[in-house]
A and B are shown apart, each in its own frame.
Chain A
Amino acid sequence: MLLSIIFFCLLVAPLSLVIRRSMRQGSMWVLALVPLVCAGFLLAQTGTIVGGRPIVENYFWARNIGGGLDFDISFVLDSLSLLFALLIMLIGTFTILHAGHVLARHQQSDLFFCYTLAFLGCMLGLVLAGNVLTLMVFWLLVPVCSYLLLGYRHEMLIVRYAARQAWFIPFGGSLVLLIGLLILGESLRSLGMSALDAYDLAVIRSTGGTVSATAAYVPAMLCILVGCLAISAQVPFHFWHTSAMQIPAPISIYLHTITMVTAGVYLLARLAPALSNTILWSDTLIIAGGSSFVLSAALALRQHDVRPLLAYATTSQIGLMILLLGTNSPYTQAALIATLLNYVCSIGALFFLTGITAHASGSYSLEPAQSMQARLRQPLTPWLALLATMSLAGMPLLFGFVARELAFEAALTGVLPVLEYSFVFLALALGIPLTIVYLWRLLRYVFLAPAGHTAQHSAKTAPAGMLLGPALLGSCLLMLGIPGAGQAFVANALINPAASLVAGRPIMIELVLWQSPASLILSLLVLALGVALVRYERLLITLFASLPARLNAQRICDQILRGFYMLATILMRPIQDGKLRIAVAAMLMVWLGLIGPLLLTFGLQYLNLPMAQPLRRELFAYELLIVLPIPIGIALMIRARSRLEALSGLGIVGSTLALFFTVFSAPDLALTQALAVALLTTFFVFSFPLIPIRATAKAPNFMRLRDISIAGGAGLLIALLTFVTLVSNIPIDSIFLANELANEDIPASSQLFDRVSSFYIDNSGGQEGPTNVVQMILLNFRSLDTFVVLVMWFIALLGIVGLLRKRPEQHKRSRQQIARQPAHTVPAEAAEPAEIEVR
């Protein structure tokens, strides 16, 4: 059922292209229904889940691979994943509605909707994943979807740059995360768990403190943290998100901002019961989260553009959540969930509202002089913006105030050493006033600009589809801020169950206006400080402008990428300089160097040449005759003066092999071999006119000697390997199979691979009995390999198409097409993508 919801999103994604083409205008309403239906379905499960019974689904994936490892595909819908899934699906609905209006005239908007739905499906899979395998599949898919989503207007350089960075950082982080989860799982397995349990997220959570006692805890936790911080755009990695926000049409980013960056918070919250009971966990979270919170708020303050301001606001709020997760207090979890809800509703509303004004005015600038020019003035937008900013700033009677109270209460009751305790307060006291100041700037310069001489815009109101999202989110903030039935329902149905899950024990916290007098006083003090600081807005901007311009790791990331390119160039130059012979020689030499010494030291002792043992059956003369053409063909190839001669030598060898297979009762192989040789020869003949003509003179002797030794060595290696595996007499229990097969009765002298073939012959039949064993090996026992081979064939074809389709005249044509494009599609700043951050 959960699987079918995810598949629903993923399968509708390509269908959206058809829907979009067939019904231009109304299509966004239809497409917006997809996440809405999913959200409604998930919401219907609330009753079951709040009752404490999560929905668990397990799908058989792979059993007993690599020494008894089992892997399932598993999905879990519990209160935490329900909360995140609901938020993702609702924001997805609103984004589709918003984009439907903004992108109405864009050429490639069809693809945008396709990518959006795929992204939603992957995010849904991420939060519903029940074990590490499922989680990692979706965790790795999400950056790919976001890359496509960001880069859907790929004709612009700056968009490509941002998209690549937005792929590189979370993807790299997810690899680190995978390492961390593997360390965690293996340490649990070493404690005696089965693989199925050790990689199950619910089991990992239930282990409590046992993980933190093991030596693997520190590396595992740090790796997991790096992965989560990378996808959440926290301080060392925050730049991908900001540069992604600066693309010309940032609708695509709304979705990520609100959903993708919360993935890190989600995983940290999910693993918190297992990892959280050490001081190291609190330290790292408080330092990473607190510095992100304050620094991003300061950076947001000095922006003159709405897009980076909102990006830094996002980073800052996520930092606040991570900071709160580090406070070791009974209020931690509820504060986290409340802050998350407040963040999603208010930042989401702000994104859509700035999108509306920017769509109307065409400007993202925060400069007062420019913002006077053309602002959409309409009855609803400024009021909704006021609501959202005030809630994010934590003004009373809005949900933000309740969340702020919980945050202060968590900080007050946190059980932490003095240094960390005071650091939390320092971060809150610095970050919240700065947040208020930048929100004030946003509100004033974007939404509250006086009408001035914008009479022509005053009559224009945003369409209902665009306003629906912010209006609903704003009314949520209003409703949740005032004590009442709505607040109580959300507290009991969403916040408390999710918080209990994060805590690993039942939590029951009432949403009240203030939790304790101390937190109320602190909260009001900070609020007053923020409001007072608003007056010194200019001063603060100049102050923060003196922060180093490169206060981010963007340059480092660029350097790393450049380093990769250089390294790849240095490595590949000598190996792949365009000559096939050198590439093949390098490949063979690596093979010889890696496997040759191993075979010589370990393998040869098992080698039992057939001369030493009696032949199983007699040799016939014709068998020798069949073998004879092979050396003749090889000699012909070596001595060939032209390509055609060499090719005929190759043909002789190949067809002789086919004959060989026929005699030794492998007609399938013989058929395939004969046809493959025929086609190979044909292809060579076809491609001769395309290959540059070389002098046909004989190569110098040392080159021939070198080639002969490499080729001969590789051939000898393969022959020896085959001999060792087929002819040797290795007692099975002396090698690696000892552990698994020890309990079965194995004759001590049986050969290593006889067993396998007899297994194939015995099991290929089944009841109805397909009798062709080769076919059954290909299509049953090795079906996955066969499938991968098919995919590889296709990839090879694509490579060949790419190579052959690049004729000079086609080059010329495509260049003309690019030149014919209107100039305004390339933004002015596209020339220097690395410089967009400084302003």
Chain B
Amino acid sequence: MLVLRTLMRVLLPLLMVLSLYLLLGSFEGVGGGFGSGLLAAGAIILHMMISGSARPRQTLTLSYIVLAASGILFAMVWGSVNLLVNQPFLSARWFDNPIPGIGSLGIPVFLNIGAYMVVVGVTTQIALLLLEEAAAGSSQPSPDGADQLARSTTAHNGQGHLSRPRPRNQKGRVL
């Protein structure tokens, strides 16, 4: 475990840089907002799993929901810039001069970045929720080997709630 944890310390920045490279270089080569976002999310989730469920939130202290929401906002704002010059929403317009070192910027680049943010935010938040839920949820033993494995990734929690999540089939209230 220690080996993995140490390895992950090195790997996490590397994987993040790789995902950023795939994100920004995607117009010339392989990559794209969705793929690179999944890569970054995978790296963060891996780090969460390895560093133990006691503090999965401390891997990167930022609100992933806000990250996802701001990704949508980012894409929307840059897409609406088109409206100011009487062009369709989100149409692909490129700035005239490529910026040295970065390449040519345009609306698709920003949409791509927005997609990246949404994918990272949503995927990581789901994993985080599942991890926390698993940590706080069941403590019943199960015959499934899978459950053993899952619990080993979520380590032991001191709280030990015995109650399982209730079935959530609430009847629709009339009124």
Show the binding face of A for B, using Cβ within 8 Å. Answer: 59-63, 161, 562, 565, 568-569, 577-578, 642-644, 647, 667-668, 671-672, 675-676, 678-679, 682-683, 685-690, 692-693, 696, 766, 768, 770-772, 774-776, 778-780, 783-784, 786-787, 790-791, 793-794, 796-797, 800-801, 803-809, 833
Contact = CB atoms under 8 A, between A and B. Distances in A.
Contacts of B142: 689, 693
Contact of A568 (B91, B138, B168, B172): B172
A668 B35 contact: yes
B92 A794 contact: no
Nearest to B169: A578
A688 B140 CA distance: 12
B28 A772 contact: yes
A682 B45 contact: yes
B52 to A, nearest CB: 14
Given A62-B88, A804-B133, A675 B38 contact: yes
B65 A801 contact: yes
A794 B125 CA distance: 10
A717 B168 CA distance: 34
Interface in B102-138: 104, 107-108, 111-112, 114-115, 118-119, 121-123, 125-127, 129-134, 136-138
12 contacts: A578-B167, A678-B42, A689-B142, A690-B165, A693-B142, A693-B144, A774-B32, A779-B92, A779-B108, A790-B75, A794-B72, A804-B130
A775 B32 contact: yes
A507 B107 CA distance: 50
B120 to A, nearest CB: 11
Interface of B: 22, 26-35, 38-39, 41-42, 45, 49, 65, 68-69, 71-72, 75-76, 79, 83, 86-92, 94, 98, 104, 107-108, 111-112, 114-115, 118-119, 121-123, 125-127, 129-134, 136-138, 140, 142-147, 149-151, 153-154, 161, 163-169, 172, 174-175
Nearest to B88: A60
Given A794-B68, A797-B122, A690 B134 contact: yes
Given A62-B88, A696-B143, A775 B75 contact: no
B92 A793 contact: no
A807 B133 contact: yes
B144 A644 contact: yes
A129 B26 CA distance: 41
B145 A768 contact: no
B31 A686 contact: no
B117 to A, nearest CB: 9
A84 B22 CA distance: 53
Contacts of A779: 33, 92, 108, 111-112
B145 A772 contact: no
A76 B86 CA distance: 17
Contacts of B138: 689-690
Given A671-B31, A672-B38, A783 B90 contact: yes
Given A678-B42, A770-B28, A772-B29, A685 B146 contact: yes
Given A62-B88, A693-B143, A797-B65, A686 B112 contact: no
B169 to A, nearest CB: 5
Nearest to A157: B175
Contact of A775 (B27, B71, B127, B149): B27
A803 B168 contact: yes
A642 B150 contact: no
B150 A685 contact: yes
A800 B27 contact: no
B91 A783 contact: yes
Given A783-B90, A808-B163, A679 B133 contact: no
A668 B91 contact: no
A796 B83 CA distance: 29
B134 A790 contact: no
B71 to A, nearest CB: 7
A683 B130 contact: yes
B134 A689 contact: yes
A644 B149 CA distance: 9
A671 B39 CA distance: 9
Contacts of A786: 111, 115
Contact of A801 (B33, B125, B147): B125
B28 to A, nearest CB: 6
Nearest to A678: B42
A577 B168 CA distance: 11
B83 A771 contact: no
Contacts of B133: 690, 804, 807
A779 B145 CA distance: 43
A18 to B, nearest CB: 17
A644 B145 CA distance: 7
Contacts of B127: 679, 682-683, 686
A675 B35 CA distance: 7
Contact of A770 (B108, B114, B154): B108
Contacts of B154: 686, 689
Nearest to B53: A686
Nearest to B38: A675
Nearest to B97: A768
* Complex A-B, nearest 10 residue pairs according to Cβ-Cβ distance, in ascending order: A770-B27, A779-B108, A780-B92, A675-B38, A644-B146, A686-B130, A672-B35, A783-B90, A671-B35, A667-B30
A633 B145 CA distance: 19
A797 B119 CA distance: 10
Most chain A beta-carbon neighbours within 10 Å: one of B72, B112, B145, B150: B150
Given A768-B94, A776-B108, A804-B133, A675 B42 contact: yes
Contacts of A772: 26-32
Contacts of A676: 38
Nearest to A578: B169
Contacts of B153: 685-686
B68 A679 contact: no
A161 B150 CA distance: 45
A421 B67 CA distance: 65
A775 B137 contact: no
Contacts of A778: 32-34
Contacts of B91: 780, 783
Contacts of A806: 165-166, 168
Given A59-B86, A668-B30, A801-B125, 8 more contacts: A671-B30, A675-B38, A689-B150, A793-B122, A794-B68, A794-B72, A807-B165, A833-B175
B125 to A, nearest CB: 6
A150 B32 CA distance: 44
Contacts of A766: 92, 94
A679 B163 CA distance: 28
A218 B48 CA distance: 65
Contacts of B76: 787
Contact of B126 (A678, A800, A808): A800
A783 B41 contact: no
B17 to A, nearest CB: 16
B118 A790 contact: yes
B133 to A, nearest CB: 5
Contacts of A682: 42, 45, 49, 127
Contacts of A771: 27-29
A677 B104 CA distance: 32
Contact of A685 (B126, B136, B149): B149
Contacts of B118: 790, 793-794
